Chain A
Amino acid sequence: MSSVPLSAYLVTALLLFCMGLYGALTKRNAVIVLISIELMLNAVNLNLVAFAKYGVGASIRGQVFSLFTITVAAAEAAVGLAILIALYRNRATVNVDEMNTLKK
């Protein structure tokens, strides 16, 4: 019935995950690092929903789990941004290379 196989969705999610990982590791701006992590979480969600339709014992559970993941990701974004604002107030920078007080 379907012409798009499961592996196509998985490869899309893999590409998104790799781009998110690359952004999180190489970008200097803390906001962009945060949003790259969101991109990686999105790739995971895509896998969950794909397995909910094509996986072993496919059922609606995968979609429920992806909803939980979205909730936790939203909480993570809010807390991460609050930490970023507090850090900016103290250090006046959003460059992740300058956030090294614990290292000194």
Chain B
Amino acid sequence: MTGELLVFIVLFLITITGGLLMLNLTKVIHMMMALVLTFLGIAGFYIMLSAEFVAVVQILIYSGAITIIMLFGIMLTKHTEAEPKTGWAKKGVVFTGIVLFFLIMFKGIRTISLGPQADDLHVNNTEQIGIMLYTDYVIPFELVSVVLLVALVGAVVLAKKDEKDEKEGEQS
């Protein structure tokens, strides 16, 4: 059983390293690449927690789609070479607040234990999720499709150039 602990420690190091690199690197693209490391580490945690389907979805959506969309966002906008520095005072206040938050939460969850673990999650994991989605959660599932459609149309409308601007651009 020490194997499980070893895998956990390796994944923990990968995840936390990615996050710390994101906070400390200076170039935006490098920050994005550091976060891919974090997303992959989290996918590893999902596999350890016998959530194979969620792990694959995590890799597809986060390491794939969201990273690519954010890279597009970075490339379509102009960036100064290095991130402008935030003032030390603001950083200090935010850091203190977050450390306090961390300590309070840590005290609460340090020794938490909530009874026996579920031991049938890995058996036909995808089938179980599918059955649950189409029995208990049909209405949220359909609503999520509406949310995705609205987000798709909304993103296109927001990112589209205004027609008025285009005409003015042609005249000038």
Q: Which residues of A contact B (CB under 8 A)?
A: 1-12, 14-16, 18-23, 25-29, 31-32, 34-36, 38-39, 42, 45-46, 49-56, 58-61, 63-64, 66-68, 70-79, 81-86, 88-89, 92, 94-95
CB<8 Å pairs between A and B, sample of 26: A6-B114, A7-B109, A14-B109, A16-B19, A16-B42, A18-B102, A22-B98, A23-B22, A26-B90, A31-B70, A32-B31, A38-B62, A39-B19, A39-B22, A42-B39, A49-B45, A56-B114, A64-B133, A68-B144, A72-B147, A76-B151, A77-B66, A78-B155, A79-B155, A84-B73, A95-B84
Give min CB distance, B87 to chain A, whole Å.
9
Known A-B contacts: A22-B23, A49-B54, A53-B121. Give 8 more (CB < 8 A): A7-B110, A14-B105, A21-B98, A23-B23, A26-B86, A56-B115, A59-B118, A82-B159
How many Å lie between the Cα of A54 and that of B50 in the bound state?
11
Q: Which residues of B contact A31 (CB under 8 A)?
A: 28, 32, 70, 73-74, 77
- Specify the chain A residue showing the minimal Cβ separation from B3: A3
Q: Which residues of B contact A75 (CB under 8 A)?
A: 147-148, 150-151
- Specify the chain B residue showing the minimal Cβ separation from A76: B151
Question: Is the beta-carbon distance between A46 and B45 smaller than 8 angstroms?
Answer: yes
Give min CB distance, A5 to chain B, whole Å.
7
- Specify the chain A residue showing the minimal Cβ separation from B150: A75
A3-B5, A42-B39, A85-B73 given; A22·B94 CB < 8 A: yes
Q: How many residues of B contact A (CB 8 A)?
A: 86
Question: Is the beta-carbon distance between A46 and B8 smaller than 8 angstroms?
Answer: no
Question: Is the beta-carbon distance between A29 and B28 smaller than 8 angstroms?
Answer: yes
Q: Which residues of B contact A55 (CB under 8 A)?
A: 114
Binary contact readout B54-66 vs A (1 if CB under 8 angstroms, 0 otherwise): 1001100110011
Question: Is the beta-carbon distance between B66 and A28 smaller than 8 angstroms?
Answer: no
Question: Is the beta-carbon distance between B73 and A3 smaller than 8 angstroms?
Answer: no
Question: Is the beta-carbon distance between A86 and B144 smaller than 8 angstroms?
Answer: no
How many Å lie between the Cα of A88 and that of B119 in the bound state?
50
Question: Is the beta-carbon distance between B66 and A79 smaller than 8 angstroms?
Answer: no
Give min CB distance, B148 to chain A, whole Å.
6
Question: Is the beta-carbon distance between A26 and B144 smaller than 8 angstroms?
Answer: no
Q: Which residues of A contact B125 (CB under 8 A)?
A: 60, 63
Question: Is the beta-carbon distance between A12 and B28 smaller than 8 angstroms?
Answer: no
Q: Which residues of B contact A61 (CB under 8 A)?
A: 132, 136
Q: Which residues of B contact A1 (CB under 8 A)?
A: 1, 117, 119
